[in-house]
Chain A
Amino acid sequence: MGRQIQDPVVVGIDVGSTTVKAVVLDPVTLEILWSDYQRHQTKQPEKVVELIDAIEAAFPASPRASWRVFMTGSGAAPLCAGLGAKFVQEVNAVTLAVENLHPDVGSVIELGGQDAKIIIFKKDEKTGDKTASPSMNDKCASGTGATIDKCMLKVGLPSAEVVQIHFDDSKLHHVAAKCGVFAETDIVNLVKSGIPANEVLCSLADAIVLQNLSVLTRGSTLKSKVLLLGGPNTYLPFLQECWRLRIPQVWDERGYDWPKDRPVEETIFVPENAQYYAAFGACVYGLKEAAGVGSYTGKQGLVEYMTNGRKARLGESAGPPLAKSKDEISDFRKLYSIPRFTPPKLAQGQVIRAVVGLDGGSTSSKAVLVDEAGEIVCKAYQLSKGNPIQDAKELLTQLRDHVQNQGATLEVLGFGATGYAADVLEETVRADVNIVETVAHMMSAVRYCGEVDVICDIGGQDIKVLFMKNGDIANFRLSNSCSAGNGMLLQAMADQFGLPVTEYADTAFGAELAPKFSYGCAVFLDTDRVNFQKEGFSKEELLAGLAQVLPKNVWQYVVQIPRLAALGTRYVLQGGTQYNLAAVKAQVDYIKERVPGAEVFVHPHTGEAGALGAAFETLRVIKRRGTSTFIGIEAAINLDYTTKNDEETVCHFCPNNCKRTFIDATRPDGSTSRYISGFSCEKGTVESEAAMIALVADRKKIAKQFPNLVDYESKQAFRHFYEPAPLPPEGSPVKDTVLKKGFFGTKRVETTRPFRRNSHTVQERLRRVRIGIPRVLNIYSTAPYFRHYFEAIGIPKQNVVFSDVTTEEMWVEGGKYGSIDPCFPSKVAQAHIHNLLFHHHSPQPGALPSPDDKKLDYIFFPILTHVPSFGEGVMDKTSCPIVAGVPDVMKAAFTKEVDFFATRGIEYVDPALTFSEMNLTARRMFETWGPRLGITEDESDHAHREAMRAFDIFERDLQDKGRAILETVEAENRVAILMVGRPYHSDPGLNHAIPEEFQVLGYPILSVRSIPRDADYLARYFKEEIARGQHPLNINDVWPENYSANSAQKVWAVKFAARHPNVVLLDLSSFKCGHDAPTYGIVESIVNGSATPYAALHDIDANKPSGSIKIRVKTYAHSLKLHEEALDDAAKKRGELAMSLDKKRLELLTMKQAQMAARRQEDPALERQIAELGDRLRSYVAPITPPEQPKGLVTLKKKNADGNVVATHAGANAAR
């Protein structure tokens, strides 16, 4: 406590998102006289008053009237007036504190509860002044204290042990730190895979450190010394150690000279009193203000604010509560409270013959025992403990004990599983059924609620909405890993207030108003929550507001269908969240407000809907099959298993080096099974080299049978596939146009003149020139042009170098240069430039030159303002403005501190080119390369023409292959998946190999550009358009604002799919894509109108959400199977129709023949027709069935002019 002070003091208070910190300073010496630090549990004003009281008590003799108070922190602003305090922005406060206390510090990294800040001090070379350039996370980024807190809860390690952990980079696992929600999901998955807590936390620390280093520094390099501030940095030694490892690595990479002779703990350090820096800085700031600013007025104003002022302001911005009256609530409760399930009493000695259904969910696992009649015998529930086998064993024990404890005997007829655990259980206990969650939910909902239109399942981690038609899933929407509004959010919110989630509804119903949250991502919602809390909303009100945002998240954010009524009138709500009546009330109100006559049901066993679905499916399967594969409940309960996760289990089949977990189970009969988790591709599912080779061979076979044109296009675009015509000899005659320019007018005159060539030395030089081009963005649609242009002027084909295909390693290695955070396809360009600079260019600086050196002379990354497009009647063919601008952004990123190009002797060339004006492009190519390479304009123009030719060949080739696939699937009543995306979505690093997932299921994949655009072909599908005079490639009837070339092509491809019965859609868009966003509604309308099967992933980003991809692929595969069946049925019906028409025709013709015979006439043609028809009808009776094709094999075929489908050679090449 402070000593007796007679003089005035200065008080600094820092109100953060979780704590309040206060310091009292001597205004002259800036000595800290008193300090304290308290968690505020969201009661900021109360805590501030408490601290003020303590300060007043500590300094009884100091004159109050001369005190000055300065406040900082995210929660301070509304409290200032109450104390007479002056508000100081926190970064300014921290900056001043650091400048004052550590003049030698070069950068500061502060991790707070809700925000992260990096301050880099830069010295102005001219004036010598130090200027601080601060950077704060935008609200989307993660890497903050709150994320760390949440993840530590998930790991479940006591804090006493957490501080013992040391950073170890030998066992790191993938954690996406870009967003708090992603990180949390990854952490949960790691915990579930049985990864030790210290490895999980080290992985989290590493992810957060790298995230901050790559994003928050905005591409700048930290300057030494580095000061670490904020709660997590202060208290978590492993986090400090992680900074000390990673920062010097970045320094070395960038050639920054840091004091290597001193211990790193001195260079990157946590100061004493780190938590008080902001409060201290606020005082330093305040003392520079005029006297009188921040004069302490006593705490009375703040007390007044707490009691009255706060509430009065709220009414203005808040919305209505969940219910207007107590009666409304009690009526609602009567109607919607889920009756408590009481398991039926079992008789002593009764034999229960039943199946087990198990749903291994993300946060909790559930199991049900369902008897042969479909009645529930009992249920079991537990929070997932991280190991699916252990969870299953415990659940099964619960079920068994329930039966046995009542003296009955249990005979398990079968076992079915769904959810995250289904795969491992299928393998280890030989489950009879392994179905995807969506289908399980559908089966259960239909069973209990009859014919329904919409099923909305809100689970712990995700939201699933299924749209039904004819008793099956017609379409579905799933939340992606980014969205919120799920049960977890409500749970977390209840936790924040120390409230059991079971009391959520009672509390929320007590609110008289509710703050209006804006819907969307959980991180944003949490920011809102903090803000509302600061404004003074009570916990009742916050909980009510949050319940109200739930339906918005479901219907507006995930489902994206504003007109709910279009979906139908019967809705089923299920999933564990429905136990929370506040959430149900909000949902029911939302739906009923928008759908007249809506009926909203809550599933009677809402939490176990998935498990029940699995059980019902098991019943069906074992009844049909007569036997079960399940190893038996006792065997399952006693299953021995070991998990292994060490050096040995690391997958080395590709550079990813996934850290896998092996779960080895030994069944009682001695048989063993190994389940492998934690890999990112199916290469990880094998253990040995031989098995690996077999798997790859198997995949190749499938790939050959099921061509993937997306993959083909992504490779072919960069290959040399055309030998450009040689340059004409010097002097050979060429036709040209000469421009005769006046001041006012210009005339063009045709002429013939000799072709001009460059000198021999230039040709020699060209043979050695190497040009690097990043394999990104619209280069995917233009690379054939650029490659063949360079080849045509005489650069050897191996000297046109493209960067490698995007991979996660490439991104981790090269993703730290950008200063902005646009969509991933644009951001990843920096990793490609890095790849060219550091992997395709030698010598490296400092190294001695050697003859093997492969030096890049240029990195060529053209600004493409307009891109190739086949759109007809479009308004323009523009590229996305971000994509077009990336080359300039890259130039800035790689030259701003160190000119990485100049220091490596490379020239960065980024001219603006347009693919909608090829004459201008030819001119600009010459202007760019003429002076640099010494070529003549004639040569450049020749190369341009050859490049165009190559481009045409490329396009033609794709379409030929596409046509082969289309005609094959049509002839065989199969489906092909058309991946609609932007050209660069064929980059496997961007599409996360989702097309391949479908390819291995046996579906050929088409790309947008592989759809044949020949008039005769399109005429088959665009009859209506052609009839009304519209070009088949014109999309103005659905979207006239078609400026964006790639979006327009996407919309056209969707139109095509809507018209082709054998084409289904897979729609990929990147997170933040501004050019795709306006087309979502249009695509939706086209697809819904024509009932084309459609699956969309609209937010693909850097990290691969494997779980989410898997469930989508499985669900979509289910729909596609049904669609194929329907196609088959339709073909059969068409056959039936043809036969019956022929019969009728024969009948009519015979009648006509009789008529004519009556008139004694004869018509040989009629006779012949009758004979032919008779033959044909006989062939219907005994149709020549073609030999059954081996399952899954498609031989590519083509329709001839006569309508017959024959095998084609081109198709077979497609897969190569």
Chain B
Amino acid sequence: MTMQTTTTQKKSLPIVAAHKTAADLDIDVDAELLAFEQAERERIGIKAERRQWADNMLDLKMKKSERASVTLLISGLTAAQDFLTEGALRSLGYKVHYFGMSNNRGLQAGKEFGNRGQCNPTYFTVGSLVQHLIDLRDKDGMSAEDIVKNFVFVTAGACGPCRFGMYVTEYRKALRDAGFDGFRVLLFQQQGGLSQATGEDVGLEMNPPFFIAIIKAVVCGDVLNALGYRIRPYEVEVGATNRAMEEAKKICYEALTSHSNIFVALHKAKKVLEGVKVDKLRARAKTSIIGEFWAMTTEGDGNYQLQKFLESEGAENDIQLTTAWLLYNIWEVARDTRQRQDLRTADGGNYGLEGLDEFGVAKKLAMMRGAEVGLRAGFEAFALAAGLYDYHLPDMDLVASVANEHYSNDLRGGEGHMEVGKLICNVVMSKANITVSVKPFGCMPSSGVSDGVQSLITAKYPGTIFCAVETSGDGATNFYSRVQMYMFKARIAAEKELARAYEATGLTEAEVRAFLASHPRYASPLHHAPHKVAGSAANLVYEVAPLIQQSALERASIKAKAAAAVLKGAALGTPAAARKAVAFVRDPETHARLEQDFLLVRDLLQGKAREHLVPMAQRLLGKAVFENNPEVSHLAHSGEAIAAE
């Protein structure tokens, strides 16, 4: 270590100059000392205080005035959804650019500039953004300052607990290390509601029109994707579906950008897709793709183009829709609220119901119910317009209840209990021949928990074909090999299933083909046979069998009998239902509850509600005191007294 010696050592005081007499002024001892101390510190070489790091990329904003010059960059969902989102946001007056599906170049950049030990989706998504900016700089010759000034990245944020919740940390680190210090990443939170980041000088207004535009694009993309995966395995001419899909996407894009009627556009898209020639009697293994959200959603290098590979191995993919993911988010809030509504003392924190008024819980639950109904209805409307018939969004309560015994509904992160729940549904309800669960290497919720539980599920239901695969971004050969291993079994299962259908109905393939030729409605690419077994071809055989073998009269009689049975069941059930209703009405608890509601409303009407605000304010005050009291502030929990004290 080298000692620093300074030559300009001050021996005399600067203020007590020689020409002044001592009596002229009083000495300011403190000021003199301060000046002296500084000089001494320098002379002795006492180090300055440690420098402390703080992140300078937090809270970077975009201003309203920048709207005309700044381009919003987007990427991260399926190709269709990103493309349509670009269109939808343009309609709101933003400059938007979708810069393409994440690829291996992105992965490499992500690994170079990201932290070690991240999961694949992080590397891919973060790296793709960084790579895009590097290309703008190095290939298009823009300066880093201009890039930082003229572009922002918009993406969904999340609330933990897996690495997905910490993506933004990675974005900041990678952008800074790649030389784009100050680049703005704007987040909209999954559960932040519809009222974030709005106001006077906000460049990107996350207001209802913004979210509605995104949801429209996402749902529209979902519907088109679902249709594409239904049609492609059966196309007669290879590539016809993809061509039709491109056209359909363009039609919807135009409609979203120009604010014209999206239903009309979807109807046009339906006509285009209807034009794809298909052979619906091919035995295809119905393949349910589950797993980590990004890995199962992306269609590029991030999962080695799994969907395409599965189709080449004889699969009809049943993909998970983003809409279902939104439903899961809604379900989470509703479930957490129900779990806590009966606590005698409400907790604070992110999930606690502290601070809600008497009607708060009911309001919150009603809101969630409304959101769910709205989303489902919206999806149905889009689906019908586009020709996606008989598509069932998952029943979140059912998935949760079948999974709960094995995978607690309280466990969150990634897909939570859904992977386990979906596998059980797939097996028990014959929804798929094979379930492929794809996840990034080391995915915490998926490979770290779900797969551990799935081993029990597959043991409980022998015959389950369950293929869990991890993607690491390299070594595609192993990945494909593993998938092939299971697809072989699935294909055989699908073939057997179709053979059983012919056997059970006593039909031959030729007979069914002849029927389809004469009844084009059933041969249409959009036609969807009702669910009986997993495979679509087998379902079609079961559907058309009565049409071939029975006369119209026989069918009508069978239908009538079925309807009668339903009616009879309803009639038999009526007294029971009626008894139940009567019991409910007579139940003292019902009365008590009604009385409580009445009292609450009366209180409210009489203006007494204000009184309830006082204790609440006191509670809040108590919390503030608690927080500011050093004696207790080291406690890790809010030590409110509970129950019987």
Contacts and interface: CB of A to CB of B under 8 A. Distances in A.
B227 interface: no
A569 interface: no
Interface string B112-149: 11011111000000000000000000000000000000
Contacts of B460: 896
A809 interface: no
A1040 to B, nearest CB: 6
A343 interface: no
B485 A1078 contact: no
A918 B358 contact: no
A1077 B115 contact: yes
A917 B640 contact: no
12 contacts: A136-B478, A138-B470, A518-B474, A820-B447, A822-B452, A875-B159, A938-B643, A1041-B167, A1058-B52, A1059-B50, A1090-B50, A1133-B46
Given A742-B593, A744-B359, A1137 B37 contact: yes
Interface in A497-545: 516, 518-519, 524, 527-528, 531, 534
A955 B459 CA distance: 44
Interface in A365-391: none
B411 A884 contact: yes
A150 B408 CA distance: 45
B359 A922 contact: no
B58 A1040 contact: yes
Contact of A818 (B50, B358, B452): B452
Interface in A915-951: 915-920, 922-923, 937-938, 941-942, 944-945, 948, 951
A1019 to B, nearest CB: 9
A1072 B161 contact: no
* Pairs A-B, 10 closest by C-beta atoms: A1043-B160, A1089-B53, A885-B449, A881-B413, A742-B597, A912-B410, A889-B452, A742-B596, A1015-B630, A917-B347
A994 B111 CA distance: 29
Interface string B15-49: 01000001100110100110011001100111100
Given A562-B178, A919-B640, A1014-B634, A124 B462 contact: yes
Interface string B330-363: 0000000001111111111111100000110110
A130 to B, nearest CB: 10
Interface in A936-990: 937-938, 941-942, 944-945, 948, 951-952, 955-956, 959
B285 to A, nearest CB: 14
Given A1037-B58, A1134-B46, A922 B643 contact: yes
Interface string A733-753: 011111111111111100001
Given A741-B596, A920-B352, A941 B644 contact: yes
A799 interface: no
Interface in A1069-1085: 1069, 1072-1082, 1085
A1077 B481 CA distance: 30
Contact of B474 (A528, A820, A868): A528
Interface of B: 1-2, 13, 16, 22-23, 26-27, 29, 32-33, 36-37, 40-41, 44-47, 50-55, 58, 107-108, 111-113, 115-119, 159-163, 165-170, 173-174, 177-178, 339-352, 358-359, 361-362, 406-414, 441-442, 444-445, 447-449, 451-453, 455-456, 458-460, 462-463, 470, 472-478, 480-482, 484-485, 488-489, 592-601, 630, 633-645
Given A470-B2, A560-B116, A1073-B117, A888 B411 contact: yes
Contact of B344 (A748, A866, A889, A1092): A748
Interface in A773-829: 818-823, 826
A781 to B, nearest CB: 9
Given A745-B600, A875-B160, A1141-B40, A920 B343 contact: yes
Contact of A1155 (B23, B477, B643): B23
Nearest to A1141: B37
A826 B449 CA distance: 10
B165 A736 contact: no
B406 A888 contact: yes
Contact of A744 (B362, B411, B455, B641): B362
Band of interface residues on A: 35 or more
B643 A937 contact: yes
B473 to A, nearest CB: 7
A882 B633 contact: no
A470 B45 CA distance: 15
Best-buried of A470, A1080, A1149 by chain B (most CB within 10 Å): A1080
Nearest to A92: B488
Contacts of B2: 470
Given A91-B485, A755-B644, A881-B449, A746 B118 contact: no
Contact of A739 (B112, B342, B441, B637): B342
Best-buried of A127, A818, A952 by chain B (most CB within 10 Å): A952
B587 to A, nearest CB: 12
B462 A1133 contact: no
Best-buried of B13, B111, B166, B346 by chain A (most CB within 10 Å): B166
Contacts of A744: 359, 362, 597, 600
A1038 B406 contact: no
Nearest to B470: A138
Contact of B118 (A74, A127, A1078, A1129): A1078
Contacts of A669: none
A131 B411 contact: no
A122 B112 contact: no
Contacts of B163: 1074-1075, 1077-1078
A1164 to B, nearest CB: 17
Contact of A92 (B47, B411, B485): B485
A1151 B41 CA distance: 23
Given A518-B474, A919-B346, A740 B22 contact: no
A250 interface: no
Given A518-B108, A562-B178, A863-B411, A920 B339 contact: yes
A618 interface: no
A1072 B447 CA distance: 12
A1118 to B, nearest CB: 15
A948 B639 contact: yes
B10 to A, nearest CB: 10
B603 to A, nearest CB: 8
B52 A1159 contact: no
B407 A89 contact: no
A48 to B, nearest CB: 17
A86 to B, nearest CB: 12
Contacts of A1151: 16, 22, 27
Given A518-B111, A1077-B115, A820 B448 contact: yes
Best-buried of A869, A895, A1155 by chain B (most CB within 10 Å): A1155
B643 A1080 contact: no
Given A920-B347, A941-B644, A1155-B23, A1041 B633 contact: no
A1155 B24 CA distance: 9
Contacts of A1141: 33, 36-37, 40
Nearest to B346: A919
Contacts of B119: 1074
B406 to A, nearest CB: 7
Given A882-B445, A917-B352, 12 more contacts: A285-B488, A737-B344, A737-B643, A863-B408, A875-B160, A941-B645, A1041-B167, A1080-B117, A1082-B55, A1090-B52, A1130-B46, A1154-B22
A133 interface: yes
Interface string A861-887: 001011011100001111111101110
Given A560-B116, A881-B161, A889 B449 contact: yes
A945 B645 contact: yes
A309 to B, nearest CB: 18
A71 to B, nearest CB: 13
Contacts of B639: 918, 948, 952
Contact of A885 (B173, B342, B448, B478): B448
A1020 interface: no
